[in-house]
Amino acid sequence: MEPSWQMWATFALIAGAIVLYATERFPLEQTSLALLAALLLLFHFAPLELPGEIFGQRLDARRLLAGFADPALIAVLALMVIGHGLIRTGALDETIRFMSHRFQHRPGLSLAVTLAVIAALSAIINNTPIVVIFIPVMTSIAERLNRGPSRLMMPLSFAAILGGMVTLIGSSTNLLVAGAAADLNQPAIGFFDFAVPGGVLAIVGLAYVVFILPHLLRERASLASEITGDGKQFIAQILIRTGSPLVGQTTVAGMIPHLKGMTVRMIQRGAESHLPPFDDVRLQPGDTVVVAATRALLAEALARMPELADTADEDQEGGGVGGSLLAEAMVTPASRVIGRSLRLVGFHYHTGCVILGVQRRSRMMRGRMEDIRLEAGDILLLLGPRDRVTNLRFSREVLLIEWSALELPARHHAKRALAVFAAVVAAAATGLVPIVIAALAGALGMIALGCLNINQAARAVDRQVALLVAAALAMGSALQGTGGAAYLAQHMITAMAGLGPAVVLSALFALVAVMTNVLSNAATAVLFTPIAINTALALGVAPTPFIHAIIFAANCSFATPMGYQTNLLVMGPGRYKFSDYLRGGTPLIVLIWLAFSLFAPWYYGF
């Protein structure tokens, strides 16, 4: 195709969008919608027929908006729902506890080993479900290490992408390139045909991901911790019943091993009170342990010890806390409970909620929780069914702090969630069905089996991701339809033609690595594979190194969130901005390009 003014207009729109994405002067959703609107207006008033096999068709609204129905986007959104189902049911908590225990002893080495394992798994299993598995694991590990998830989420995605470079099935991009090459009468690519150069690039990339990338990422607390203020300490108490895991525990240096992270303020045994420093007190049934802890630690303890919900109302049965809300409420200045102890307030009788803890800003209280006399401004940590907690909006005694509400895991559905997730991973990994079908069926399974309701599933879907992917795919369609991508490739190859195969191979790698972050990686793979083969034949060399270069370069989708679906999956949990991907991913692309440019001529014999 001859260059058209529509092509140059498309270049200008894409450049402007990338600048706006990077500077984040406007929200990503607004920039995405503006780009879509601009492309729709451009090709409505200046229609352009598509070239080649689809001649006679135009870049109309149907084609430009097809990204909203793209299988990759649908798969990502469905996997978000499945991941939320795992989190809500606490299905991976045991795995998380095991891994976080390992991290506490040697966090640097443990993180490196975990990322290496992720990369290795991604070589033999599609990398998208691998990332879905490890997102809640990494989130909890970050919390236990007192680090923001922003330091771990992007390394997770990048490690999975790097592992996908090693084998034929590691990434869908690899299969697309292999299929496009086979359509052009090239030899079939075997499972391990590019494992050696792919392994070298993966090792080089992993070294960067482990040792350098975390230092380039800004520390950001998770949204939940910012909203709930996880640093606040509440006074809570635990009534030890027969069969409790605390029975027989002995205080060690004033701490109880099973209550790690909690400060024990007092142990009440009948009329006898034990105050710190404790001296080898062995806990017995009937003891009451008064502790100071954050709401995060209390929520975790509640999952292991439902008797924590028996604090203020001894007739209240523990257990069945799954799906309940944990929220905070402040005692109002005109409340009738001021000056009364929790024993006399009868809070559970009147509201259906249990008081788990009390926080007073002026001082740290010591004594049995039910003996604490409430004051105006006290913060109560409450547990109760959703409807009972929301009814507190109309209470005159307390002011519900609505943004503090947190739904506790419904652990009685954990096995169902694990079964659904395992079925999705197995179906996608074995190729029984495409990942989009497996993910959609899995999302439906999570809802049908009660792991999530419709509202919870809807909240799991990230609209920012949906609009970003749709805009990126519209950009890709416009670049292909106007011939912009082929124009850039042809001019680059023509300019480098006299410099030898090694230089042309390196330049082609660099161009594809840039384009894969703007176009979808699938479009890049399909578009550039025939260009690479024709370039190799024109230079009189074997096409295999050029085909492998397309595979590796198309996987270098590190610099933008829409570059690859695993980047989109970690964008929300890591609270990343577009500029974070540019900052963390661009050096990795340059590093991989340099490693390939130095290793490929020796390995392929140029």
| Confidence at 273, pLDDT banded by 50, 70, 90 | confident
Half-sphere exposure of residue 528, counting CA atoms within 13 Å on the CB side? 38
Taking CA atoms, 279 is separated from 236, 253, 268, 282, 291, in Å, by 21, 8, 14, 9, 17
Per-residue pLDDT of 308-360, as tens digits, reads 665 544 444 444 455 577 888 888 888 888 888 877 777 877 888 888 888 87
Residues 255, 211, single domain; the answer is no
Same-domain status, 117 and 175: yes
Q: Which among 478, 578, 513, 462 is positioned nearest to 67, based on CA atoms?
A: 478
Instruction: Please check whether residues 126 and 30 belong to one and the same domain.
Output: yes
CA dihedral 291, 296, 299, 305 (to 10 degrees): -50
- Looking at the structure, tell me whether residues 13 and 156 fall in a common domain: yes
Where in the sequence is the domain holding 333, given as residue range(s)? 227-245+290-410
Q: What is the mean pLDDT of the chain?
A: 79
pLDDT at residue 161 is higher than 90: yes
**How high is the pLDDT of residue 363?**
57
> In the numeric block, which tokens belong to residue 537?
């034949």
Residue 257: Cβ within 10 Å count: 10
pLDDT given for residue 312 in this prediction: 42
In a domain, 536, yes or no: yes
Which stretch of 23-27, 165-169, 324-328, 536-540 has the lowest confidence by average pLDDT? 23-27
> Does residue 556 sit within a domain?
yes
DSSP 200-248: HHHHHHHHHHHHTHHHHSPP---HHHHHHTTT--EEEEEEPPTT-TTTT
Residue 445 in any domain: the answer is no
The count of domains in the chain is 3
End-to-end C-alpha distance for the chain, whole angstroms: 33
Residue 305, class by beta-carbon neighbours within 10 Å (0-12 exposed, 13-18 middle, 19+ buried)? buried
Q: What percent of the chain has pLDDT over 70?
A: 82
Nearest Cα residue to 319 out of 329, 331, 328, 307: 307
Element housing 345 (H / E):
helix 342-345
Tens of pLDDT, residues 51-68: 554 444 677 888 888 878
- Does any domain span residue 60? no
Pull the structure tokens for residue 227.
């909203």
Whether the Cβ atoms of residue 474 and residue 59 lie closer than 8 Å to each other: no
Least confident among 3-7, 358-362, 364-368, 544-548: 364-368
Residue 112 has pLDDT above 50, yes or no: yes
Decide: 333 and 417 in contact? Cβ < 8 Å. no
Task: State the pLDDT at residue 362.
Answer: 54
Sheet holding 272-274, edge to edge: 272-274, 263-269, 288-293, 234-239, 354-359, 379-384, 325-331, 398-407
> Are residues 471 and 400 located together in one domain of the fold?
no
**Cβ atoms within 10 Å, residue 440:** 21
At 246, list the tokens.
């605390």
pLDDT, average across residues 70-95: 75
Region of 146 please: left (phi>0), alpha (psi -120 to 50) or beta. left
Say what the pLDDT of residue 162 is.
Answer: 94
Q: Which candidate, 240, 120, 284, 153, places its Cα nearest to that of 575?
A: 153
Q: What is the pLDDT of residues 462-513, one digit of tens each?
A: 777 677 767 777 877 787 778 776 777 677 677 776 678 898 899 889 988 9
3-state percent helix, strand, coil for the chain, nearest multiple of 5: 60, 10, 30
Same domain, 470 and 381: no
Task: Report pLDDT for 314.
Answer: 42
pLDDT digits (tens, 9 = 90+) for 571-604: 888 888 888 999 999 999 999 999 999 999 999 9
pLDDT for 495? 76
Kindly state whether residues 86 and 159 are assigned to the same domain.
yes
Residue 366 lies in a domain: yes
Q: Is residue 517 part of a domain?
A: yes
Residue 510: predicted pLDDT? 92
Phi–psi pair at 404, nearest 5 degrees: -85, -5
Residues 342, 280: one domain? no
Residue where a domain terminates, one of 286, 310, 336: 286
Asked, for residue 200, whether it belongs to a domain, the answer is yes
Same domain, 303 and 347: yes
| Domain identity same for 403 and 488 | no
Question: Residue 205 has what pLDDT?
Answer: 95
SS3 291: strand
pLDDT top residue among 201 and 258: 201
Confidence at residue 315, expressed as pLDDT on a 0 to 100 scale: 41
Same-domain status, 187 and 99: yes
- Integer Cα distance of 135 and 222 in angstroms: 13
Distance, CA of 36 to CA of 141 (rounded, Å): 38
8 A C-beta contact, residue 366 and residue 322: no
213 shares a domain with 83: yes
* CB-based contact 566:157 (threshold 8 Å): yes
| CATH number of the domain within which 393 lies | 3.30.70.1450
When pLDDT is cut at 50, 70 and 90, the band that residue 181 belongs to is: confident
Note the pLDDT of residue 103.
65
In a domain, 455, yes or no: no
**Helices (H), strands (E): how many in the chain?**
26, 8
